Amino acid sequence: MARSVGERYALVAGATGLVGGHLLDELLRSDAYGRITVLARRPVERRDERVSSLVVDFEHLEDAPAVKGVTDAFCALGTTLKKAGSAAAFRRVDLGYVTAFARLAARSGASRFVLVSSVGADEKSSVLYPRVKGEAEREVRSLSFEAVHILRPSFLLGERSESRPGERAGIVAARALSFALAGPLARYRPIEAGDVARAMVAAALSPETGIHVHEGADLRRLARAR
């Protein structure tokens, strides 16, 4: 049965990141969500009575109690190998934290799960980053949500709180070559973080069930739907 406006309850992980910050803004712009709980290491300050923070230890998220009443879960968790410091630490965040959050969302009764992954995600890849992203997708797919939406953006555009010179160089190169990224290569075009956030909310509000992967033009179509 369709839920009426204002009755949806969002559970969010990764709200302090680039996409996650925009996601929280988009959820607050939507009149569909009457409650929003943000999982974070420290309280997230938003001047809106619909938003509450749940301070958690992501290392022990598997032990966290269910959050009653959740309808939609949004995961924008992620780090970089450089920031994590090692392959094991990167894997712990991008696979371990994501998987633990998805299981918490399932225990909390969420019917829809929206995950920010990455273009090229492939659990069989010989390269660490796409392999871990693909493994995280596999774990999310295995859970009993009515709908799973996996978003696979390429380079993310937007103002970050920390400096990432290598990524900035990649973005400049991708922008310069965007005209050449056509057909199957169009999925590698850079995309604004705000557009990814809009696509996340549009996907959650879609009546579609089952597993859906969005990248390239489809990701931009979802963003425009908001």
Q: Where are the domains of the chain?
A: 8-158+191-224
Q: What is the mean pLDDT of residues 40-53?
A: 91
Q: What is the mean pLDDT of residues 127-156?
A: 97
Q: What is the pLDDT of residue 188?
A: 75
The answer to whether residue 174 scores a pLDDT higher than 90 is: no
Q: What is the pLDDT of residue 4?
A: 45
Contacts 24+ apart (CB under 8 A), 169-173: none
Q: What is the pLDDT of residue 46?
A: 87
| Residues labelled as active-site residues | 129, 133
Q: What is the mean pLDDT of residues 60-71?
A: 95
| Confidence grade of residue 163 (pLDDT, cut at 50, 70, 90) | low
Topology (CATH level 3) of domain 8-158+191-224: Rossmann fold (3.40.50)
| Confidence grade of residue 3 (pLDDT, cut at 50, 70, 90) | very low
| Confidence grade of residue 167 (pLDDT, cut at 50, 70, 90) | low
Nearest to 148 by CA among 190, 204, 187: 204
Nearest to 77 by CA among 146, 142, 136: 136
| Confidence grade of residue 189 (pLDDT, cut at 50, 70, 90) | confident
Amino acid identity, position 224: R
| Confidence grade of residue 1 (pLDDT, cut at 50, 70, 90) | very low
Copy the structure tokens of residue 29. 């712009």
Q: What is the pLDDT of residue 100?
A: 98
CA–CA dist 139, 132 (Å, integer): 11
Q: What is the pLDDT of residue 165?
A: 60
Q: What is the pLDDT of residue 164?
A: 56
Q: What is the mean pLDDT of residues 182-191?
A: 74
Termini Cα distance of the chain: 22
